[in-house]
Every structure is written in structure tokens, then in C-alpha cells.
Structure 1
Amino acid sequence: MVGAFVGAFALLMLSAFTSVLAGGPLSTKRELVNAAYQANAGECLNWDKADLSDAQKVDCGAAHRFEVTGTADITAQYPKEAPFPNAEAWEKIAQEHCTQAAKTYMSDKLDPEGKYGVSTLNPDEHRWSSGYRQLRCGLQVTAPSGAALPSYGSAKTQDQSNVYDPGICVALGENNTVGDPVDCAQPHAFEIIGVVQHPEGEFLPTDKQDAIMSEKCAAIANEYTGGADLKAKGLLVTWDTRSEKSWAVGSRKANCKIGAVPQGNNLVAWKDSVRNPNGAPLTTSNPPQTTAVKPQDEPTGAPLHSDTSKPSESGKPTESGKPDKPSSSEPTTTTEKR
């Protein structure tokens, strides 16, 4: 379902996050980088540094930032004398050469609104100038800013639902969108309070999902906050729904969350957490976004997004959804794709 706020929580399949592996003289760091250049489909890569100079292969069960879905050689389109591509060109290359690789790798069960986005690892200018034209296509979980987030387990076996763990707060981004995870003491759009697992079976229309989420999120909010009066704080309970496309590939999880009462069509940022400090420990059953995980300070490479994932110029909701309104009887809903 189209989100109430275009771009909010969306990580579309055609979004391309391009990372350029570091160049330079041969060294220990270069040898580690070479391991990434030599990775094959089904292998996973991890790094900590923004320039990927420490990139190396890791077991996919461990924390990783990139799962290789295939390789692509673009020599035919870009001979040795071709100039180094700009950001727009890299996006086109990723879409043309890596989108189908991801679909094939996932046996055509890649959630177009899920947490995994199609990405590429590209040669740097030094290697490009020497004629190197091989790419690593892959899947990656990224924050809205483009920063790579750790993932655990192969994408082939994971639930692809685009959700965060309880206790995560997400920033209010530009143009009325939802941004990266932030400390809850900072201004944020929503605080995630729980994850609801819908049952297997035929797709549940949005109104039926809303009925389930309304009941379950109210109960989750009561436990999470210790029965706090959210209305008195200018807050309300809301939730996400899953689209039929996501449902078809097995995405069944959706977030319950708390946000401030919108002003007209605009989300409102608020500070601090409403979690009951004496409540039970949170269950972080949805890696990679746990309460301990923060995105990198800087994205590794240029975050590239197709037109379908850009927020609307006006920042207003589409006709399919409107912002939350306070209710005296039950929580209301938004339907951001998350």
C-alpha cells in the first residue's frame, strides 16, 4: 500500500546504494579490499570504515553490510577510455545490471517494499582508469540516508518486512519523511514500540490488518508505556500495514509505534521516550535494527535512489493516506511502508 507520507520508511527494490572500494598502493588494507573484489554470489561482506578499506568476507550468519547476488562486467558499455561514471550513471548501471541478478538470486521473491535494497560495489577511479570494469551486485539494508546497516543471516532465509525493533526512534526527515534511527532523547517522528506478526495465508486487506493492528498495538502500547496517558502528552498510537506485493513474498511483520499528533498534513517531532523504565527488557528479535545499532556517521559511497523512492516535492501525503488524528476511543493509523 502506498505510504501515508511518500518516502517514509520506504526502501524500494530499485533503490541503488553505490559503494566505491578504496584504491591506493598494494598493502594489507588493499589485500582485504581484494577479498571483496573476489567475492561471489552467496558470500557476504562487512566493513567498518567509510571508504571500505577494511572490507572483507564474513560468514553470512555474522553481522555484514553486503550480500553478493552476482557479478557484472560492463566493459562492453564502458571501454577503457570511458570516463569514470557520475552518480546518475552509477544508478543506471546498477539498475540495468544488478536488479535482475537480485530477483534471480531471491527466486523472484524479493519484497519491493522490504528492508533489502539492490546495491553495487564499484571500482574506484584508480582501478577504473586501469580498465577494471567488474561490479559486485548485492543486497543491503540501508537507513533512509543511505548509510549501510548490519544484517544477519542470508536474505534468502530472512523475513523481508521493513520493520524496526522496539525501542528504536526514527528521526523526522526532510519533506515530511521519516529518517534514520536516532537516540530517543533527540527529536524524532516515531518511537517503535513493538512488532506484530500477521498469520500465514491469503492477503489480508488493509481494513482487516488495521483491525488486528488496532487491538494489538493498543495492548502493546499499554505494556510498553506502563499505562501512560498518551493523549495528555499530545501523542497517539499508530501502526504500519503490509502491501499485497510484500505479503506475496512472505513479509508478515508490521510495526506498532507512537508519534505526536500531526499538524495538518505534517508530522511533528518530539523528544524523549515513553517506555516504562521499570518494564520488562525489550526483545530485539529483528536484526539488524536493534537498540544497540546505529547507522554509520557517513554513508559508504553515494546513496542513489530511483525516482520511485523519492519523497514528493510537496511533502504532503498521497490520496491513499492522511496523517493521524487523535481518538478518544482507539488509536488511529498511518500506513507508511515500513
Structure 2
Amino acid sequence: MVAIGAVGAAAVTIGVSGGFDRSENLPAPTAAGSSAGTVSFDSSDAGDCLQWTPTDDPDTDRQDLAEVSCAEPHRFEVARTVNLATFPVAEFATGSPYPDASRFAALRDEHCVAAVQDYTGGRFDPTGRYSVGLMFPSQAGWANGERSIRCGIQQTGATSALQEMVGRVADQDQSTVWDAGTCVGVESGVPTDPVDCGTAHAFEVVSVVDLGAQFPGGLPSVDDQDRYLEPTCTQAAEAYLGGPDVLRDKTLTLFWDNVDASSWMAGSRRVSCSVGKEVESGGFAAIVGSAKGDITIDGVAPVPPPPVPDGRSLPTPLPGAAPLPGA
């Protein structure tokens, strides 16, 4: 007994994308004259990957910013350097006031979206796990005349902290998926970042499916995706949970994502099959414990629905349908 497809997938897509702050996460290195961070920031260019150790102190954060191999963990991949001093406007002239966060966000939108698409050869997934980012001088660096900004790619979690990445973005599938067994946290009904399954979470990933293997040609329609994913995710959930009745007995819902045209064109092919509990008011209930074992839903142990009497059957829910009672 499962409720599947579009309803659950839409909730996850909206929740995850909305939870990721893609607007104001603009990392600014601390400009301290001879620091490694300043040297690396000033000399970095397209194709460079930058790493640093985050701290809670804004005066010391990114002091150790340095260029590393993109094959190593890093937090920013540079797509283009833009020297604002070349623009003949007073806003960027010597002695001009330091821009606020909203202005830097606007500069990112003006310069970096196109820069990232050019840098990746059009293979940037706008709804994938990565986002367009901007690195800019600190206030001290601006006062000293630094006007170069770096457009690039970053991975931002719901907590606004930049996550570590490995490998060049254009060379990999950018789908927003997590490994099977990953639990994604929940806050006010909205999915957040991966957490320990022993803490409150919105859903648990049971499988990752590569649609490219089933659809080697063009983008399959949502209906074609659902027709393939329904039995595939159901089989994966039963294997992961240990039986065909576990999902029903724990009153959980099985759902998955769909790949849209922009993601497919960027090379994204993977989707997650997950189990969780949607609530009537929208969003997700808070589950504690792995679905493989004992769980609570909003603090209460689930009560299995009554068994279906012999000789009766219930219809299989259609893609996008609301969950059947007890599903």
C-alpha cells in the first residue's frame, strides 16, 4: 500500500529547494593583508577550486582560504572573475561605500548566472544540488581598493552553511539525491539537511534510481517516469524495509522525484525513492528512528491499519493521487 509520485515529489522539490537559501549565501573572505586567504582569493580564476575551514567568528572565518585540487573536498568552484573597477560608474570608484548584502546578491544575479552557464558549457542544473554563488572582498579589502568578485558554484544546505564538494560540477550528475539510508531533517514541516535518523526527519531515502539506464534517449514524460518508478521504488522500499507490509504497518508514504527538462538537459538523471509522512496541512511530519526499526511520527508510535479482509483488494493509487486510508 503506497501513495506515490507527483504529490510527494512536488512536496519534496518545493521543500528542499525552498529550504536552500540560494539568495544571500555570499561567502566573503576575510581580507587581512598577507593572509593566505587574501592571496588565494586575489589570484583565483575560472576553474580554480577554493577551500577553507569555516568558523563562527567573522573576523577569522576563511583566513585559511586556499586553492586546492578540484578532486579534493572544496566549498567553491570559480567560474569567472569580474573586475568591477572596469565599470565606469561611481558605485565602484575609489572611496565608494561598501555594498550591502542585497546589492551583492544583485551583482551575483547580474553577472554570475550567465557566467556559470558559460563555464559549464550549458551543463548547469538550475534545480540541482548546486547553486550559483559569489565571492566578494571583505569590507577592509573594499576600502583598500579591491573590486574583483568571483562568480562560481557552491552547494548550500538549509542551514546556509556551504557544503563540501568533490570534483568539477560540469563533469558530474548534479541531481539532488542522497545515498540510501540517509535521513533528511525537518523544520516546521520543511525538509532541511541530512541528519542522523535518530533525530527528527522528514523522510528517509531507500534507493537512488538512474533514469538514464531506462531512458537512454530523450527526456521521458512524467507519466513515463512514474510508470517506471512506481514498481522500481516499491521493490526497492520492500527490500530496504524488510517486507511488503512494513510501509503500510508504519503508515508511511513512498514517493519519488521526477526529472524536468532543464535538469535533463544539464545531464541530471538520478532520482531518490524515499519514505516519509505527509500531513494534510502540507509539508512533512517529524519522524524519529529509521523506518527499518521502531519509529515515532510527531512523537507517537504509528498504529497499523486493520488488515484487508480475505477476498478483497484495494485499488492501486494512481500517480499524483492522495494517499489511501492507512497508506
Matched, 1:20 2:32: no
Structure 1 gap segments, 5+ residues each: 278-320, 332-338
CA-based RMSD of the aligned residues comes to: 2.6
Quote the offset at 1:197 in angstroms: 0.2
Partner of 1:99: 113
Q: Say if 1:324 and 1:253 are closer, same or farther in 2 by CA, change over 3 A.
A: farther
Counting only pairs closer than 5 Å after superposition, residues 48-63 of structure 1 correspond to structure 2 as: 48-50=53-55, 51-63=61-73
Quote the offset at 1:264 in angstroms: 3.9
Partner of 1:185: 198
Quote the offset at 1:262 in angstroms: 2.2
State the TM-score, normalized to the length of structure 2. Answer: 0.79
Partner of 1:284: none
The amino acid across from 2:198 in the alignment is A
Could you say which structure has the higher helix fraction?
Answer: 2
Matched, 1:252 2:257: no
1:50-107 deviation line (CA, Å, top 9, x unaligned):
3111211111111111111010112234222222122211110111121111010011
Report if the CA contact (8 A) 1:218-1:237 is conserved: yes
The amino acid across from 1:148 in the alignment is L
Q: Say if 1:323 and 1:154 are closer, same or farther in 2 by CA, change over 3 A.
A: farther
1:244-288 deviation line (CA, Å, top 9, x unaligned):
2211222110001110242343421111112379xxxxxxxxxxx
State the TM-score, normalized to the length of structure 1. Answer: 0.76
Instruction: Name the CA distance, whole Å, in 2 between partners of 1:65 and 1:233.
Output: 39
The amino acid across from 1:69 in the alignment is A
Q: Say if 1:215 and 1:161 are closer, same or farther in 2 by CA, change over 3 A.
A: same
Instruction: Name the CA distance, whole Å, in 1 between partners of 2:136 and 2:37.
Output: 15
Counting only pairs closer than 5 Å after superposition, residues 231-250 of structure 1 correspond to structure 2 as: 231-250=248-267
SS at match of 2:155: strand
Structure 2 gap segments, 5+ residues each: 1-5, 56-60, 295-318
Q: Please list every run of at least 4 consecutive aligned residues from structure 1 whose deviation after the TM superposition is greater than 4 angstroms.
A: 11-16, 321-324
Matched, 1:132 2:146: yes
1:209 aligned residue (215, 225, 238):
225
Quote the offset at 1:13 in angstroms: 11
Report if the CA contact (8 A) 1:13-1:114 is conserved: no
Counting only pairs closer than 5 Å after superposition, residues 22-171 of structure 1 correspond to structure 2 as: 22-26=30-34, 30-50=35-55, 51-75=61-85, 76=87, 77-171=91-185
Partner of 2:207: 194
1:276-313 deviation line (CA, Å, top 9, x unaligned):
79xxxxxxxxxxxxxxxxxxxxxxxxxxxxxxxxxxxx
Quote the offset at 1:234 in angstroms: 2.2
The amino acid across from 2:273 in the alignment is C
The amino acid across from 2:210 in the alignment is Q
Partner of 1:325: 323
Q: Say if 1:173 and 1:323 are closer, same or farther in 2 by CA, change over 3 A.
A: farther
